[in-house]
Amino acid sequence: MGVLKDTGAIEYSKGLEGVIAALSSISAIDGNEGKLIYRGIPIEMLAKYSSYEETAYLLLYGDLPTREELDEFSSQMRELRILPKKVEDCVKELPPNPHPMDILKVAVAHAGLYDPDQYRCCREGVMRKVIRIIAQIPTIIAYYHRARTGQEIVPPDQNLGHAANFLYMLHGKKPDEEEARIFDIALILHAEHGLNASTFAAMVTASTLSDINSAIVSAIGALKGPLHGGANERVLKMLDEIGSPDKAEEYVLNALKEKRRIMGFGHRVYKTYDPRARILKEYAEYLSDKYNDRKYISIGEKIEEIMIRELGNKGIFPNVDFYSGIVYQFLGIPRDLFTPVFAMARSVGWAAHVCEYTQNNRIFRPRAYYTGPDYVEYVPIENRR
Ligand code: SDX
């Protein structure tokens, strides 16, 4: 009986580490130099000069928009951020205890049922669906939070940009302009990052020619996993446990001795400082001084010093999650909404890769190297022990 066993030389890379699975012009990461570019533009430039709307346009269409293109795109985002009434009612009725990432998964899938472009496959129809999802996710998150805390929902303010409007819907009051700008920058930094697990999940779903809504729901499910999303939530929990900078050394060394991971450190691609973490650290510092509360930043900087001393030679440095939680905490974002906020930002990266990949589509279908027995007789159940 011939066997199906693989016999040739195998190119097996656990977790597809280092495997090139697509050609893409959307972004590039230099893991050794700690560089990140979106369509060729360094992330530092976009953080300094751009907005989330402008960056989303760049990622989706490939070039920076003209003033008219940006105005048109921004007004489409504002128009499409309104939830259909049935989706709004559904979000308000959902139970308060599941993790908000499960709520997001349900609500995005539900919203897809009312998408007027649901079955359109033409480029315009797909782009309208994409922009609608990107625009609606913040509304879903804010509405859910207001409902679960017994507060009246706050409909979007069409005079506010994407970042400011989210904080307005969440808190029920216009955000401080400076803080809205800091949140806008955080969204830019989280918008896109190549073939990370959630983006790849979206691409695999889309490669079967399933719809964009299903692809985004796949991505949300992947981002919920603690190795990918939610590390910033756990960083703050760790900072609370440590309590003060002088206790950081003992905590970190014990964790490393017990092979426990320090959240917010390490990365599959970056083997040096994550450039996004550098920028977020600046704002964590700024907000700590603005609010005269340096508890978290002082413990965080101590942990950074210890981790780089202990593991820097293994390429373990702060990643995007280490300082983002401190920023979000000062912006009044509840900790269990940190990962939904990550999803809100990354929705454009997910969509951009889905649109790009399906332009020259090939269904993802890797193989496994068979390590099972060559041949086993079938034994009738009465003869089995
Ligand atoms: C994101 O891919 C992306 O781009 C993701 C992301 C994006 O923008 O989409 O950047 C967002 O997911 C950021 C990562 C958030 N997660 C965390 O911060 C969780 C903690 N970090 C890790 O668990 C880990 O670093 C990963 C998952 C991020 C990367 O893991 P890898 O590449 O699979 O690394 P590994 O598990 O092979 O570890 C290599 C070594 C191991 O030690 P040894 O067994 O070789 O002795 O480094 C150690 C690990 O134990 N290590 C850590 C560590 N991360 C790796 N040790 C202590 N603390 C850590 N955080």
3-state helix, strand, coil split of the chain in percent (to 5) is: 60, 5, 35
Instruction: Indicate if ligand 1 lies below 6 Å from the C-beta of 271.
Output: no
pLDDT, position 351 = 97
pLDDT, position 95 = 87
How buried is residue 292: exposed, middle or buried, by Cβ count under 10 Å (0-12/13-18/19+)?
Answer: exposed
Q: Which atom of ligand 1 is nearest to the CA of 322?
A: 18
Structural domains in the chain plus CATH codes: 27-225+335-358 (1.10.580.10), 231-330 (1.10.230.10)
pLDDT tens, N- to C-terminus, the chain (385 residues): 344 565 666 789 999 999 999 999 999 999 999 999 999 999 999 999 999 999 999 999 999 999 999 999 999 999 999 999 999 999 999 888 889 999 999 999 999 998 887 776 777 778 889 999 999 999 999 999 999 999 999 999 999 999 999 999 999 999 999 999 999 999 999 999 999 999 999 999 999 999 999 999 999 999 999 889 989 999 999 999 999 999 999 999 999 999 999 999 999 999 999 999 999 999 999 999 999 999 999 999 999 999 999 999 999 999 999 999 999 999 999 999 999 999 999 999 999 999 999 999 999 999 999 999 999 999 999 999 8
Residue nearest to atom 31 of ligand 1 (CA): 268
| Cα of 28 from ligand 1 centre, angstroms | 19
pLDDT, position 10 = 74
Distances 281 to 23, 41, 319 between C-alpha atoms, Å? 32, 21, 11
pLDDT, position 5 = 60
Question: How many Cβ atoms are within 10 Å of 346's Cβ, its own excluded?
Answer: 26
Q: CB–CB of 141/344 below 8 Å? A: yes
Q: Which amino acid is at 286?
A: Y
* Known catalytic membership, residue 145: no
Global pTM value:
0.95
* Known catalytic membership, residue 267: yes
Residue nearest to atom 44 of ligand 1 (CA): 259
Question: Closest Cα to residue 326, out of 277, 360, 382?
Answer: 277
Q: Which atom of ligand 1 is nearest to the CA of 261?
A: 58
CA distance linking residue 154 with residue 66, whole number of Å: 32
Sheet holding 41-42, edge to edge: 27-30, 35-38, 41-42
Question: Closest Cα to residue 262, out of 291, 234, 287, 243?
Answer: 234
pLDDT, position 3 = 43
CA distance linking residue 216 with residue 180, whole number of Å: 26
Instruction: Indicate if ligand 1 lies below 6 Å from the C-beta of 266.
Output: yes
Rounded CA Rg of the chain: 22
CA distance linking residue 206 with residue 361, whole number of Å: 9
Tokens of 323: 């300082």
* Known catalytic membership, residue 211: no
Q: Ligand 1 pocket test: pick from 26, 239, 261, 263 the residue with the most ligand atoms within 8 Å of its Cβ.
A: 261
Residue nearest to atom 24 of ligand 1 (CA): 266
Residue nearest to atom 45 of ligand 1 (CA): 314
| Cα of 44 from ligand 1 centre, angstroms | 23
Q: Which atom of ligand 1 is nearest to the CA of 228?
A: 12
CA distance linking residue 48 with residue 65, whole number of Å: 17
Instruction: Indicate if ligand 1 lies below 6 Å from the C-beta of 193.
Output: yes
Tokens of 328: 């979000």
Q: CB–CB of 262/307 below 8 Å? A: yes
Q: Which among 184, 267, 274, 353 is annotated as catalytic?
A: 267
